[in-house]
Amino acid sequence: MSLRRNAPAALLLAPLLALAACGDADPDETPDPQAQERVEELEAELDGMREQVTALEQENAALEDELAALQEATPDEDGDEPADPQAAPDGAPDEVADLWSAEGLIDPLRIHLRHPELEAERPDGWEPGMTEWAPFEVPEAVQGSYDTPGEVVAALAAAVDAPLIGRDQWETTIRALVDEDDPDLAYGAVLGWGFLDDATVGRDIRITLTRTDDDQWEPGGAEQRQHCMRGVTDDGVACV
């Protein structure tokens, strides 16, 4: 954005001041009425120019403020983005992961959304975060074989989250992703969010799935992590 500079207008004052100062060299002579009238006209014009200069200076100041605001809202030379008041809380990824990717499989969109009212009520010192992944025992009700990876993940969600939905938990997201290098290997995720708990607000489970010789899918090992509203213990294994 270009910033107009109106300082040259102020240079017009010099000739007007010079003209305004003109008068008869001899104070004893009777002033020329026409010259006196001209001096008065120049003085009036000079006052008008002073007002214009003042207005232009104010306009320049306003433009400088606008330019400074635009520079603050624009990435710097290193490509760093300005601070976003809606950015993800500490401990959460800064950007939503791509769909159909290993990162996207376990990336709950909710952690990128901030709730101003809840944050206003959060006591000082509380820092949201996520625990480290820890082993998770797959329920016996999920053991067995399924036609698709999605059916395995749906069975896991039904076993661990369905009893909580509408009571102690707001929502569950399920995802499945087949390994691009090994078609007999897949991964599933059950992402629970909105727990009625002031410590743990969500929980993610990821599970490995394998294809059998008869083209069925079976659950394998699993692990989980927790999303903490108040913070994570020093060892990273639990919410505080």
For residues 121 and 222, state if they share a domain.
Answer: yes
Report yes or no: 203 and 226 within 8 Å, Cβ to Cβ. Answer: yes
Q: Is residue 48 part of a domain?
A: yes
CA distance 92 to 147: 34
pTM of the model: 0.58
Is residue 68, in this structure, part of any structural domain at all? yes
Boundary (domain end) residue, out of 72, 96, 127: 72
Is 2 a domain residue?
no
Do 130 and 210 sit in the same domain of this protein? yes
Q: Scanning the structure block, which residue is given the tokens 């975060």? A: 129
Enter the tokens of residue 12: 């017009």
Q: What is the pLDDT of residues 58-111, one digit of tens each?
A: 888 888 887 777 777 665 555 554 444 333 334 444 578 888 888 889 888 777
Query: Residues 139, 43: one domain?
Result: no
How far apart (Å, rounded) are the C-alpha atoms in residues 181 and 215?
A: 17
Last residue of one domain, picked from the residues 55, 72, 89: 72
Q: How many domains does the chain have?
A: 2
The rounded percent of the chain whose pLDDT value lies above 70 is 72
Q: And the tokens for 161?
A: 């989250």
* Nearest residue to 173 (alpha-carbon basis) of 197, 159, 189, 186: 189
Q: Domain check: are 221 and 117 in the same one? A: yes
What local confidence, expressed as pLDDT, does residue 221 receive? Answer: 97
Do 127 and 30 fall within a single domain? no
Tell me the sheet residues that pair with 211.
Answer: 217
* Pair (132, 203) in one structural domain: yes
Q: Determine, yes or no, domain membership for 197.
A: yes
38 and 128 belong to one structural domain: no
What type of residue is 106? I
Q: Assess whether 49 and 120 both reside in one domain.
A: no
CB of 66 closer than 8 Å to CB of 1? yes
Mean pLDDT of 2-28: 52
138 vs 53, which has greater pLDDT?
Answer: 138
pLDDT for the residue numbered 92: 43
Whether 202 and 120 map to the same domain: the answer is yes
Tell whether 11 is covered by a domain.
Answer: yes
Any domain includes 236: no
Based on the fold, state whether residues 180 and 117 are members of the same structural domain. yes
Compare 53 and 152 and report the one with higher pLDDT.
152
Q: Is residue 89 part of a domain?
A: no
Is 142 found in the same domain as 68? no
Range of the domain at 43: 7-72
Q: What is the pLDDT of residue 1?
A: 46
pLDDT at 169: 94
pLDDT at 84: 42
Which among 20, 44, 72 is the end of a domain?
Answer: 72
Which CA distances in Å does 181 have to 105, 124, 184, 211?
16, 47, 9, 14
Using one digit for the tens of pLDDT, what is the confidence trace for 206-216? 999 999 999 99
**Same domain assignment for residues 120 and 66:** no
Residue found by looking up tokens 């104010």 in the block = 58
CA pair distance 167, 112, nearest whole angstrom: 24
Helix H or strand E encompassing 118: helix 116-121
Residue 161 lies in a domain: yes
* Average pLDDT estimate for 119-124: 63
pLDDT band at 140 (very low <50, low <70, confident <90, very high): very high
